[in-house]
Amino acid sequence: MNPSARLQATLELLSEIDATPRPADALVSAYFRARRYLGSKDRAAIAERLYDILRHHARLNWWLDYKTAVKDKGADVPYSSRLRLLAYLVLVEKVPPEEIKILFSGGKFAPPSLEEDEIKLIRKLVTHTLLHPGMPEEVQGECPAWAAESLKRRFGRDFMHEMAALLQPAPLDLRVNPLKATRDAMLAELKKLGLKVKAGRLSPFSIRVDERPSLSALPMLKNGAVEIQDEGSQLVAMLVDAKPGQRVVDFCAGAGGKTLAIAVAMQNKGRIIACDVLAGRLKRSTERFRRAGLHNIEVRPLTSEHDPWVKKHKAGFDRVLVDAPCSGTGTWRRNPDARWHSLGPGIEKLLGLQAEILSSAARLVKPGGRLVYATCSLLPEENENQIEAFLAAHPDFRLVPYKETLKDVPSAHENYLALTTARHHTDGFFAAAMERKTMPPE
């Protein structure tokens, strides 16, 4: 593809993301699947530019507000994808106006020619840099209004430092499956493939890949020797502290990433039940389980958090993980579109749902068993506040300080596992472990 064709593809994807209530990564995958004629370099260039534009969403809109005299609009106003692309080319990539005119030639596979108003906008922007003294902190940090107050309270003077870390592209983290390989062996194999890799800093099973290889070219992914999993997510699974022979429930299993890590910790002995209300995701996860050589996992779809199966198996499990649905603020570097496009319940509904799920799943834990609540959120409302409210309402549980399990892992909180991108170089995660002291009330 020539540069103009790549720009047109980026423009098409931006427009689709604006118009479609689906995650950007799913739309990008579908777009490329429908255009298999695109080469790997073209795909990489288009995706890299697209995600960088998404990471500059608020700042680009601020400049469009400022230079187009549009009043009473906030940083998350969806200007046309074309205007945002033009602002990005000028302010971020520093493409000269004359070159932009050539790229927007109106020719075959190229974006339509520039209109007079667009040429005027380019001329207004060309003398500026991306950041402006008049930009509020939340705009500079690409933080949406609904999350800004809570995150500023949590991070205080470190707010901008944490937001800056979430603007960097996420690395590729792998988790070694010790049932099939060792980390040293996998590091050696990956280096033979010409990849820049290093051992993870926090998880003994983690490998960080400092580039974006074609995943189809990694044989260890195909045979289950490694799985893709952020290092922070690996630590959450380790906090469950599952032992061989135990009975375990992953209550919100999703695609099964943490289920896999827990099953491996159990050495294929005992039973882990992967539950979720999204039966399709659970069904797709079974191939991952098979590939990893695991046969101690049972998949069970639930109708809701109050499915009759929960009551039937009251106090029947040694470990229960609740990886609750959340705002996903800790994954913004991976999913920059999630800052601006709400694809699920709003924060207020999420808070109620999280409390309901945690309370219901807690019934499954037997005396002496462990309940772990986790999110990929940075908001205290979804994390510490939920645990404090749960323990106040459930005196039959006690908090287990995370250090009792993860002795060598630093945390942003004394008792909970609290990971942030700036401090730990992982996605943002929260996890709290609790132990049931007595039988649950009738």
- For 139-174, write each residue's pLDDT tens digit: 999 999 999 999 999 999 999 999 999 999 999 999
Predicted local confidence at residue 40, as pLDDT: 87
Percent of the chain with pLDDT over 90: 87
Q: What is the full DSSP assignment across 326-338? A: ---GGGTTT-GGG
Say how many CA atoms lie within 13 Å of 302 toward its Cβ. 24
pTM of this structure: 0.93
How far apart, in whole angstroms, are the C-alpha atoms of residue 421 and residue 169?
11
Which residues are identified as catalytic? 376
pLDDT at 75 over 50: no
At 248, the pLDDT band (50, 70, 90 cuts) reads very high
What is the DSSP code (8-state) at residue 397? E
* Cβ atoms within 10 Å of 224's Cβ, excluding its own: 20
At 69, the pLDDT band (50, 70, 90 cuts) reads very low
| Fold that domain 231-436 belongs to in CATH | Rossmann fold (3.40.50)
Mind listing the pLDDT tens digit for each residue in 1-49?
Answer: 899 999 999 999 999 999 898 999 999 999 999 998 999 899 999 999 9
Percent of the chain with pLDDT over 70: 97
Structure-block tokens of residue 284? 């797709």
pLDDT at 77 over 70: no
pLDDT at 193 over 50: yes
What is the DSSP code (8-state) at residue 215? G
pLDDT at 194 over 60: yes
Question: What number is the average pLDDT over the span 340-344?
Answer: 81
For 172-228, CATH number?
3.30.70.1170
Instruction: Using CB atoms within 10 Å of the CB of residue 357, give its burial: 0 to 12 exposed, 13 to 18 middle, 19+ buried.
Output: buried
Cβ contact 148:138 at 8 Å: yes
DSSP reduced 3-state for 214:
coil
Cβ contact 340:331 at 8 Å: no
Predicted local confidence at residue 76, as pLDDT: 44
How far apart, in whole angstroms, are the C-alpha atoms of residue 29 and residue 32?
5
pLDDT at 226 over 90: yes
pLDDT at 72 over 50: no
DSSP reduced 3-state for 142:
coil
What is the DSSP code (8-state) at residue 209? E
Predicted local confidence at residue 442, as pLDDT: 67
3-135 and 231-436: identical CATH topology: no
Looking at the DSSP assignment, which residues form a beta bridge with residue 372? 321, 433
Mind listing the pLDDT tens digit for each residue in 94-148?
Answer: 999 999 999 999 989 999 999 999 999 999 999 999 999 999 999 999 999 999 9
80 or 317: which leads in pLDDT:
317
How far apart, in whole angstroms, are the C-alpha atoms of residue 4 and residue 1?
8
Domain 3-135 has CATH 2.30.130: no
Predicted local confidence at residue 71, as pLDDT: 38
- Return the residue matching tokens 């983290």: 173
Question: What number is the average pLDDT over the span 272-284?
Answer: 92
Predicted local confidence at residue 215, as pLDDT: 84
DSSP reduced 3-state for 17:
helix
Predicted local confidence at residue 203, as pLDDT: 97
Q: Where are the domains positioned within the chain? A: 3-135, 172-228, 231-436
pLDDT at 70 over 70: no
